[in-house]
Structure 1
Amino acid sequence: MKLLQFLLVLLTTTTLTAQLTPFEALEGMGRGINLGNTLEPPQESAWNNGPAQEAYFDAYVAAGFTNVRVPVRWDEHTMNTPPYTIDADWMDRVEEVVDWGLDRGLYITLNGHHEDWLKQNYTTENKARYDSIWRQIVVRFQDKPDKLLYEIINEPFGLTVAQVDDLNARILGIIREQEPTRIVIFGGNQYSNAEELFRAEIPDDDYIMGYYHSYDPWNFAGLSQGTWGTPADYAGMANKFQAAKDWSDQYGIPVHISEYGAKVNADFNSRMRWYGEYLGLADLHGFATSTWDDGGDFRVLNRSDQTWPEVKDVLIHYYQDSPNEIVVTSTQDDQGNPVVMLDWNNRLTDNDSIVVERAEGVNGTFAEVGRLAPSAMSFLDTDVYSNGVFTYRLYTHDATGRLTHGYPQRLTLSSDVQSPYNNTPQAIPGKIEVEDYDNGGQDVAYNDNDSANQGGGYRLSEGVDIGGGPDDGYVLGYVSAGEWIEYTVDVETAGNYRVDARIASDDAASAFTLNFPADATVNFVTPVTAGWNDYQEISAEGPVMLEAGQQVMRLNITGGAAFNIDWIIFTLESNATGEEQDNQLIVSPNPADDQVRVAFPASLQSATGTVQLYGASRGKIAEYKVAGNTATINVSDLPSGTYLLRLTDGSKNFVRRILIH
């Protein structure tokens, strides 16, 4: 019996004192934030923030963060001569802040930050001083919960790889004298990028993590220059994450991205895309993250009142299957009123309804403007006005009930009205000179990633990059993915058209599309020519079927490499469109409010195809399987406006325009 009691006590003691493994800690850390520019200035409050407040940690928990990195400068609070004693008041203050987090169940990372005296002068004396600092940290914090982690040093710029390897080994050894199972986080030299982590010597220890920092690309994230979101941008970020995942898998070391961020004055839409993709990849690869929040240029929490900007819900609720490829554009209805179109890629298949929220003005509060079907991929907002600023975001819940957000996107509606250049639509068939795009300005007739006309050759007051071209004409240049230009065209005859273009490129193969209503799309692949002035004619991948009449054509830049476009030519190949007359497809009521009843042509007594619904100038938004010669379609979730209804049955298409109130 005594032996059994002893074994039970031993088992209970072992269970209660079991140390978190690094991978268990990584999973628990999840998504976090830095208490930056607070305890690491020369003195607390010396920079842009006041003293740390306990209320910050309440805000972190309420928001959903699960780890907080606490950067600390020790130099200014430590004696310069042996025994290098840390000021008692400072040690008490650091412990107080750390305890605020631990008491709330947060994972806390404590480090040595801005220790430039050591990084710039790695002498025997300075090494002894830093050793002493860590011995005192261990003595003070050794009895804290497992959720306290140590990070050896932040961004040791100035130290060589060998010196950082020495530093990591020495400080880890000091920690292990008293704390054999405390999780310790190590990194590489310089600015602790992923590449530096990969070069660092990996300590022989079972309770370690690796860390790296990322503000890539620096021109965008760190300097707020340009935009982010080209295919090359996405590929670059994905490649870095994959390299870190490969390193982690190879050596069995979990990865903590303990700093990442983009400045608040960077392009808003690009910044939201950047954060979204970052968190999606971190979710995909199982990395813990701590976004950099310095209360200033990289501000996340508004510390004065503990409120959060739009990015918070991306940092907490964006996952690898969140809605992405979110695009917000504007057009006009048939009365000339502005309309905002929101399109996205829906990556969930077992979610509940998708909620669309909108905020008016730069600092507006989000409010629901639409609740859509789980499979929805677009939304049309007619309750908007010229000269307004509108920010949209999406959220849904997956099969487990997890809240899943997309990233916000913002649009400023110009007071300009879109109209054909020179008040004359471009004729099809015929040649369209690309410089003769519609009037209306940014976000109305075109979307250019910067406000300057980099070509400087034509229409100089607008942001489309038009420069000089062959035959004393003009060309569109300096293109980048995501840009678009619209042209009002007048198609003389419905039918199939061959489409050709003249382009030049000294960069790399790229691509663009021409998009029309009713999902008609022309795809071009642009080759590399002999130079920027060597123009070649290229043909689209296939003909396109166009409906007759006036409509808007959008030229979308889809490839990541730059090229120049001179003109586009449409040639009618056949006027046999396969379309039956509108009056053969009966829709009632029209206009409609909640439901639409569709009666198919008499020639189709048992149609077995699909009915597709298209929004004005923005492609297909819904598709319905049908059987028999009638169908009832629920349109109650759709915003008011004009739509195109198409029945597809075999090789025949039947089209009808409907109005939804």
Structure 2
Amino acid sequence: MTSRATKLRSAFLAVTLAVTAGFSGVAPASAGGLNAAQIVAEMGAGWNLGNQLEASSNGVPSETAWGQPTVTQALIDKVKAAGFRTIRIPVSYLNYIGAGPDYTVNAAWLNRVQQVVDYAYNRGLYVLVDMHGDGYKTVNGSWLICDSGNQATVKAKYQKVWQQVAARFAGYDQHLVLEAMNEEFDGQYGNPTQPCYSNINAYDQIFVDTVRKAGGNNGSRWLLVAGWNTNIDYTTGNYGFVMPTDQFRSPSVPAGEKRMMISVHYYSPWDFAGEENGTITQWGRGAANPSKKSTWGQEDYLDAQLKSVRDTFVAKGYPAIVGEYGSIDKSSFDSANNRYRADFARAVVSTAKKYGAATVYWDNGNNGQYGFGLFDRRSYAVTHQGIIDAILGGLASR
């Protein structure tokens, strides 16, 4: 999502995956790390640290800019204790990137990003680190704009930033996954346009090549790429997405294995998941009031969407990650709403598992009306145990 209070947006899908190391009972890893099925199994239930390191004010990143407190080790420990095994950390760089040709990232900011990564990584969690707000036209200081007229500058800047980030994390093992970008598109909710989509493909290729050449474990690290706005239809369909080549990966990776994943986001139907009103508050076959249930986007739609991801990518060895999914709190309009939010989360996780994808719940830190929060980031209290139980139950259901 973009960011801000509720960080909602399109009715699209997300499938997110991840990393390497050696945890719970999966088959032994190959010399190059975990294979596609192993990494998905290892990642388990995922959670987004949203509205924190991607938050900004007047183009300057700040983890407290959007009303959240400073991220602590105690928060990450609480998330782990709740049963999550993967944490996605959205990051914005914006005006913390210096002038060209070096485009040096502010050292203090990169240090803080690393510190927050370490909160999770040092606890044995899988960590996804993306480039988040830099591609939103609505964010002050954004520059990763796919329909900008100066693509040479955009691409040079993008390459230099990822070069620095990848070098910073070169020594981290496969529990760390790097993610090329977040919901990159031209800002218009409609069919993809050219040359914008070709530029997104180019960003993905620059990302893969740059990280692979950055040394250390980057040669075999799992890398997460995405199509137009991480939308399932626009990534799996005939709209122009091209999976990057991986010619610079380490020879330690077995020839028949991949080391790239595909990301999608899932907020369908949007009138239930993200629309800020009390019109549609129920979801799924258990909905008690048909007038409160959307006319589309139910279990059959979810199944078809994630099946298309499986058929297009997972079946070819590319793990999928639903990097964001969830639904906002509308319980002030319908006291039963949180039950349906839990049903939705359970269904996304269960269906993703069925089709070989991992899932990462979108938590923007906000609780109460229109919030996605599962935790209070000040007291560390769990605010929606029912949704957490549904997520973990979805993983155990198949």
TM-score between both structures, scaled by the size of structure 1: 0.45
Contact persistence 1:30–1:287 (CA under 8 A): no
AA paired with 1:131?
Q
Q: Once the two structures are superposed, what CA deviation does each residue of 1:453-510 show, in whole Å capped at 9, x if it has no partner?
A: xxxxxxxxxxxxxxxxxxxxxxxxxxxxxxxxxxxxxxxxxxxxxxxxxxxxxxxxxx
Structure 2 matches for 1:355-504, cutoff 5 A? none
Per-residue Cα deviation, 1:301-355 (whole angstroms, up to 9, x for no partner)? 2212212212111122334748xxxxxxxxxxxxxxxxxxxxxxxxxxxxxxxxx
In terms of fraction of residues, the more strand-rich structure is 1
Matched, 1:185 2:224: yes
Matched, 1:137 2:165: yes
The aligned counterpart of 1:256 is 321
Match of 2:268 among 216, 225, 235: 216
User: Share of identical aligned residues, percent?
Assistant: 27
Deviations 1:362-392 (A, max 9, x none): xxxxxxxxxxxxxxxxxxxxxxxxxxxxxxx
Aligned partners of 1:274 and 1:169: how far apart in 2? 34
Distance 1:321 1:175 in 2: 36
For the pair 1:153 / 2:167, whether they are aligned, the reply is no
More relative contact order, 1 or 2 (CA 8 Å, 6+ apart): 2
Q: For residue 279 of structure 1, report the CA deviation from its aligned partner.
A: 1.9
Equivalent of residue 121 in structure 2, options 102, 108, 111:
102
Q: Cα offset for 1:195?
A: 1.6
Q: What is the match of residue 306 of structure 2?
A: 241
Q: What secondary structure is seen at the aligned counterpart in 2 of 1:99?
A: helix
Q: In the aligned structure 2, how far is the partner of 1:136 from the partner of 1:249?
A: 30
Q: 1:276 aligns with which of 346, 350, 358?
A: 346
Q: Which amino acid aligns with 1:130?
A: Y
- Deviation sequence 1:588-637 (CA, Å, 0-9, x none): xxxxxxxxxxxxxxxxxxxxxxxxxxxxxxxxxxxxxxxxxxxxxxxxxx
Amino acid at match of 1:277: A
Match of 2:76 in 1: 57
Task: Kindly indicate which of the two structures has a greater share of residues assigned to helix.
Answer: 2
Q: State the shift of 1:18 in Å.
A: 4.0
Q: 2:33 aligns with which of 10, 14, 19?
A: 19
- What is the match of residue 139 of structure 2? none
Partners of 1:234 and 1:22 in 2: CA distance: 26
Q: Partner residue of 1:503?
A: none
SS in 1 for 2:112: helix
Q: Distance in 2 between matches of 1:115 and 1:286?
A: 30
State how 1:626-637 maps to structure 2 within 5 Å.
none
User: How far is the alpha carbon of 1:214 from its aligned partner?
Assistant: 0.7
Q: Which of the numbers 43, 51, 70 marks the counterpart of 1:37? A: 51
1:76 and 1:278 mapped to 2: Cα distance? 36
5+ unaligned residues in a row in structure 1: which ranges?
1-14, 323-661
Change (3 A) 1:230 1:317: closer
The TM-score, its normalising length taken from structure 2, stands at 0.73
Query: What amino acid maps onto 1:119 in structure 2?
Result: I
Q: Which residue of 2 aligns with 1:207?
A: 259
Whether the 8 Å contact between 1:212 and 1:259 is mirrored in structure 2 is yes
Show CA shifts across 1:552-572 (max 9, x none): xxxxxxxxxxxxxxxxxxxxx
Cα RMSD of the aligned pairs, angstroms, is 2.1
Q: How has the CA–CA distance of structure 1 residues 147 and 293 changed in structure 2, closer, same or farther, with 3 Å as cutoff? A: same
C-alpha displacement at 1:286, in angstroms?
A: 2.7
Instruction: State how many pairs are aligned.
Output: 307
Which of the pair has more CA radius of gyration? Answer: 1
Preserved contact between residue 215 and residue 221 of structure 1 (Cα < 8 Å): yes
The residue identity in structure 1 corresponding to 2:265 is H
Looking at structure 1, the residues matched to 30 and 314 of structure 2 have their Cα atoms a distance apart, in angstroms, of 30
The answer to whether the Cα contact below 8 Å between 1:102 and 1:145 also exists between their aligned partners in 2 is: no
| 16 and 298 in structure 1: CA distance in 2 versus 1, 3 angstrom threshold | same
Give me the whole-angstrom Cα distance separating, in 1, the residues matched to 2:227 and 2:127: 21
How far apart, in 1, do the equivalents of 2:68 and 2:231 lie?
A: 26
What is the CA-CA distance between 1:240 and the residue it aligns to? 1.1
* Cross-structure match for 1:176: 212
